[in-house]
Structure 1
Amino acid sequence: MNNNKIAVGLDIGTTKIVAIVGQRNEHGKLEILGMGRAKSLGVHRGVVNNITQTIDSIKKAVAEAEKAANYKIKDVTVGIAGQHIRSLQHSDYISRPNFEDVIDDTDLERLKEQVHKLVMLPGEEIIHVLPQEYKVDSQTEIIEPRGFHGSRLEANFHVVVGQISLIRNIARCVKEAGLNLIGITLEPLASSDAVLSQEEKEAGVALIDIGGGTTDIAIFKDNIIRHTAVIPFGGNVITDDIKTGCSIIERQAEILKVKYGSAWPSENKEIEVISIPGLHGRDPKEITVKKLSQIIHARIEEIISLAYLELRNYGCEEQKKKLIAGIVMTGGGAKLKHLRQLTEYTTGMDVRIGYCNEHLASGQPGELASPEYATAIGLLMTGLDNLQIEPEKKEKIIPTNEETPQQSVIQESNKKVTKIKKEEKVASKPNKEKKKSIFSTFQEKFIKYINDTE
């Protein structure tokens, strides 16, 4: 077993915390070595509100994963989400002094750095700037502007913004749990890696991830993420509605939702009755399946309507922005019966439930393909992808064998040439890394900040 190729995805959710240890086999498929799961006690709607409880939950999930995998977990890749994440569209431009020079990476970076200087609300920070389409002078709808001549370079950007203090709280919990944070990414993007195909991202698709505390939305078109949003409602709100509507405790409400719940009330369920044990010798309660479905239907329809509003805000009804691949639903809430049918009825779009089967090696436990583990699987994939980049970095940094005196003279005489080559590599490297992970710039700055504040 090659430890260098083992990664760990840590999903810190509102309902549960999941740690998954895995590696890729010779066919590029995921082999899950171990998984740990613990109830999330200190997170509310994707935001840490009790650091001590969150640390304890992380430790429990990690300890269970270590035992199952027989592997000591040190490095983890973590997702960020929550209602504090928001996005906005912004257009900006730069003027180029010499229009005869072709546009290169320097121009693109200068344009993106200009967007990073936007003034945000207090406490907010730009997480990443995602270019959509470029315009060079009067020529529009340019996807790849490198190599063009022009005096004015303009672009539309999708800007992702978050409360940096809340993200730091998650990082602190990870470090206090004795773990090393080596990767961080938006959870909707991690989920999209696990359940969406390249063809769907090319054709246009909306990912709706219904978690415990929030519903995350990510829209892709032409293999570019076009829109992100977070709705502050998830599966826990449905559970609370059942608890209030049926006058039962939370644990019983969760069992009812999972075992008997449906997003679509059925007329012939009026006579089907569920008996719930009473508390401390009290008489049992009787609830009809139809009443249960009506309570669930009211809330899940609201969540779907809010998600569809985000799709319309993006412009999915326009011919140019039409989402040909429709909607893919994932997350724990996607397991609700008849959710696909209700979503199709509400939106008029094609809908499927997102499973992770495509990326898992044969012989893996069936539960791992469940939509509720999509984020954790996606974070594991991100961690493994980052491990493939690291050896390339080390290969360029580690010197070769010790030099002989003659070699030292040659090296000394060629110092300037070597320095120029290294600068060229450094200049070209960021662009390659950004193609692998659109959050790599923020990730490196943020992790450096965490390490510096130890």
Structure 2
Amino acid sequence: MQNQEYSVGLDIGTTKIVAIVGRRNAHGKIEVMGVGKAKSLGVHKGIVNNISQTINSIKAAVAEAQASAGVPIHKVTVGIAGKHIRSLQHSDYIMREHPDQYITEKDIEALKEQVKKLVMLPGEEIIHVLPQEYKVDSEGEIHEPVGMHGKRLEANFHVVVGQMGSIRNIARCVKEAGLEMEALTLEPLASSEAVLTKEEKEAGVAIIDIGGGTTDIAIFKDNIIRHTCVIPYGGGIITDDIKEGCSIIEKHAEQLKVKFGSSLPDMEKESTFVTIPGLHGRQDKEISLKTLAQIVGARVEEILEMVNTELKAYGAFEQKKKLIAGIVLTGGGSNLKNLRLLANYTTGFDSRIGFANEYIVNDKNQYLKGPEFATAIGLLMESLKIRDKKSYTTEVENTAEATESTPAEMVSDNGQETVSNEETGESNAERKRKGLTFGQSLMEKVKKFFEEVE
């Protein structure tokens, strides 16, 4: 029942773990049934470094989501990030056995499976094989080859690779929390599902997801994924800098960052102070908002310079590859005051904050509007897509079975009896293998008969 009615996205982040339960309504929009959130205790910079703590955090988030949704959770679509993630470009092709038949999803899957056999560095594993552009025989720049005819099917691929150990650790945590992992998705790809529009992907856009432990980047152009990477710094390192720079505890540093942190020191007054309570009877501490902004701004600028390096590596400043839609900032770190202005200045691209509730219909109190929920909502959307695809495949298979079980001798619409399989001497299975309809196979037999007579 779970597989039929609703799906679950599970975001295992550095600062928090979020489980979102949802389903599609009659209009194709997403209706969120329940949300669960727990503090992430066993994850550092997107990588699991304490199995038991991570399992407990997952259980807590899932239990809360189950309680608010009122349904049991069995399968989840999980996100992956971390500094071990890298991507590469690869071209490959297959020679089709029956070029007279049109290209199907099976051919594309066969091509993807071939790419998955690529030899990686020791300890690495392929996470995603994402087709960019196809080539059928000599015809290039094809975005959708299904339904076309051709012998050679070729494609350029964006291949996402991760450390096998990190992938196995996530899978183990999910399994030991009593869940089945439906799919593993790169987090910036999930976030892009939730906050980017088709027009932005077409025009050229970079999504910058600033999480607690990592900053994830995905670049799209002509509606195709062009570049992905993970920078091993996020909001957590800004909190650490405040803690060290102001000599305060982590809890107070986080509160300062969230409530008063700014990315542009020049826009803060030196005369404005905030008071931090002293520990165990010690004197309260006064911190200048300008000093706080200088600490925050220095680290944010460093992260944005790394983003700039990745944009240059892709070629975003070249005329052909230019990102017309600029940058979309999302993730919890994008809540920082004046971040958008600093991003505009540092990268030279126009930017906006990506809110994740555009596809949600029942978020009346705007709880899910925060950009920190972008990845979790994107994972839920990915899970719903997987479910829809499975439903469609089952439907097609059932239709095919029903066709196979139809009697060989049939009557046409005008009441005339059609020729049976025995008369043509060909089975349904043989016709299916050749990709011929009943009428086509009959025509083949007639042709053969006249050739033999001649």
Q: TM-score range by the shorter chain?
A: 0.7 to 0.9
Which residue matches 1:338? 338
Matches within 5 A, 1:138-177: 141-143=141-143, 147=148, 155-177=155-177
Which residue matches 2:428? 417
1:199 aligns with 2:199: yes
Matches of 1:349 and 1:133, distance apart in 2: 26
Query: How many angstroms does 1:69 deviate by?
Result: 1.6
Which residue matches 2:440? none
**Structure 1, unpaired ranges of 5+:** 426-454
Which residue matches 1:444? none
1:80 aligns with 2:80: yes
Query: How many angstroms does 1:168 deviate by?
Result: 1.7
| Preserved contact between residue 47 and residue 166 of structure 1 (Cα < 8 Å) | yes
Query: How many angstroms does 1:112 deviate by?
Result: 4.7
| Preserved contact between residue 2 and residue 74 of structure 2 (Cα < 8 Å) | no
Which residue matches 1:304? 304
Which residue matches 1:229? 229
**Structure 2, unpaired ranges of 5+:** 411-419, 437-454
Query: How many angstroms does 1:96 deviate by?
Result: 8.9
SS at 2:229 equivalent: strand
Matches within 5 A, 1:233-244: 233-244=233-244
Query: How many angstroms does 1:48 deviate by?
Result: 0.8
Percent identity among equivalent residues?
Answer: 62
Relative distance call for 1:315 and 1:399 in structure 2 (3 A) is closer
SS at 1:359 equivalent: coil
Matches within 5 A, 1:271-350: 271-350=271-350
Query: How many angstroms does 1:7 deviate by?
Result: 1.4
Which residue matches 2:118? 118
Matches of 1:135 and 1:142, distance apart in 2: 6
Matches of 2:428 and 2:331, distance apart in 1: 53
Aligned-pair RMSD on alpha carbons? Answer: 3.5
AA partner of residue 385 (structure 1)? K
Matches of 1:38 and 1:15, distance apart in 2: 9
Count of residue correspondences: 421
| Preserved contact between residue 31 and residue 360 of structure 2 (Cα < 8 Å) | yes
Matches within 5 A, 1:376-387: 376-387=376-387
Matches of 1:406 and 1:385, distance apart in 2: 32
Relative distance call for 1:153 and 1:31 in structure 2 (3 A) is closer
| Preserved contact between residue 51 and residue 169 of structure 1 (Cα < 8 Å) | yes
Matches of 1:221 and 1:17, distance apart in 2: 31
Matches within 5 A, 1:398-413: none
SS at 1:238 equivalent: helix
Which residue matches 1:16? 16
SS at 1:132 equivalent: strand
Relative distance call for 1:103 and 1:113 in structure 2 (3 A) is farther
Matches of 1:126 and 1:168, distance apart in 2: 13
| Preserved contact between residue 3 and residue 387 of structure 2 (Cα < 8 Å) | no
Using the TM superposition, name which of 360-369 and 87-96 deviates more: 87-96
Query: How many angstroms does 1:92 deviate by?
Result: 4.8
| Preserved contact between residue 32 and residue 364 of structure 1 (Cα < 8 Å) | no
| Preserved contact between residue 127 and residue 184 of structure 2 (Cα < 8 Å) | no
| Preserved contact between residue 125 and residue 162 of structure 2 (Cα < 8 Å) | yes
Matches of 1:306 and 1:362, distance apart in 2: 37
Matches of 2:4 and 2:138, distance apart in 1: 50
| Preserved contact between residue 31 and residue 364 of structure 1 (Cα < 8 Å) | no
| Preserved contact between residue 101 and residue 435 of structure 2 (Cα < 8 Å) | no
Relative distance call for 1:20 and 1:128 in structure 2 (3 A) is closer
Relative distance call for 1:412 and 1:241 in structure 2 (3 A) is farther
Relative distance call for 1:129 and 1:423 in structure 2 (3 A) is farther
TM normalised by structure 1 equals 0.83
SS at 1:225 equivalent: strand
SS at 1:266 equivalent: helix
Deviations 1:43-80 (A, max 9, x none): 11111111100010011111111111222222211111
Matches of 1:83 and 1:415, distance apart in 2: 58
| Preserved contact between residue 5 and residue 384 of structure 1 (Cα < 8 Å) | no
Query: How many angstroms does 1:145 deviate by?
Result: 6.2
Matches of 1:220 and 1:321, distance apart in 2: 10
AA partner of residue 122 (structure 2)? P
| Preserved contact between residue 58 and residue 177 of structure 1 (Cα < 8 Å) | yes
Relative distance call for 1:145 and 1:178 in structure 2 (3 A) is closer
Query: How many angstroms does 1:321 deviate by?
Result: 0.6
Matches of 1:356 and 1:285, distance apart in 2: 37
| Preserved contact between residue 20 and residue 34 of structure 2 (Cα < 8 Å) | yes
1:32 aligns with 2:43: no
